[in-house]
Amino acid sequence: MKSILVPTGGSESDGLVFETALAAARLFSAHLRFVHIRISPGEAAVYTPHVDFASGPALGDALGQLETDTERRSTAAARHVREFCARSLIDILDKPAGAQGVTASWREEESDARQRLMFHARHNDLVVMGRAKRPNGLPPDLIEVLLLGCGRPILLAGETVPRRLTDTIMVCWRETPDAARAVVAATPFLAKAERVVFVGVDEGGGGIADALSDLASQFRWCGVPTDIQIVAPKGRATSEVLSSAAQACGADLVVMGAYGHSRMRELIFGGCTQAVIRHADRPVLLLH
């Protein structure tokens, strides 16, 4: 895992995302690719509340404000990357140079944000993102779109700066293809973990104990200390059950498959992936 994409928005959440990306990059002496997409006022207007109701002079004022916001975010994104790399003693290079430590590069583009970020996500080993706390000109479902379309694992930053990512890793398991793919994607992290806890929710179908035991034994053969835990939902949502389990085992990182059900079903009825994207309090590695 040598190339890590870090979409950079120019907001106050950049620092938390950068620190999470650095915690991952230090494990592999990886290269951080910071990318900022400069969003046109027209594109930003599509995803900004109430702009579509403006007309006449009000529309001109709204577009002018969006242009100002775009310039501010662009300037802040470049400054945040420079300051973070200087503070963290990371060399900014035009391209990876085979260095032993963490390196970084910076790129700004002007184009369709969704298309360009999808392109870059597919060309890197890992994507590190944060949750937008307010409208920023980007699609509000950008994380979901990338999860479903990029084919790469996405590491979502938690609520605080991670000290480490590999003291304890919790793997959420169920017998689905997305869970299996997530474990494969997370294997570089799992191989460096001090402890891995495989957790399954007892949904009454049986077989979860055998599945967890078999999975854990494979990692023990590779020298990874593992535990298994089966939790009963007791009427709680799966996301709540897993959140409680992560807190109980002190997980630095949670690994789980994303959208085992269709995204539309999750949007209509609610689902674990949507809840994690919106509310997880610690770093989560997701793969569809």
Domain extents for the chain? Answer: 3-156, 168-287
Predicted TM-score (pTM) of the model is 0.89
From residue 135, alpha-carbon distances to 17, 18, 141, 234, 240 in Å are 17, 20, 11, 37, 27
Collapsing DSSP states into helix, strand and coil, what is residue 49?
A: coil
Same CATH topology for 3-156 and 168-287: the answer is: yes
Kindly report, residue by residue over 20-46, the tens digit of the pLDDT. 999 999 999 999 999 999 887 777 666
Does residue 150 register a pLDDT over 50?
A: yes
Q: Give the CATH fold of the 168-287 domain.
A: Rossmann fold (3.40.50)
Flag the least confident range among 36-40, 51-55, 117-121.
Answer: 51-55
Q: Which of 282, 216, 209, 287 lies closest to 250 in space, CA to CA?
A: 282
CA 218 to chain CA mean position, Å: 26
Long-range own/partner contacts, residues 218-223 (CB < 8 A, 24 or more apart): 219/190, 222/191
pLDDT tens by residue, 103-114:
999 999 987 888
Give residue 21's pLDDT: 98
pLDDT of residue 122: 97
Q: What does CATH list as the number for 3-156?
A: 3.40.50.620
How far apart (Å, rounded) are the C-alpha atoms in residues 54 and 60?
9
Of 182, 185, 152, 186, nearest to 169 by C-alpha is 186
Say yes or no to pLDDT of 227 above 90. Answer: yes
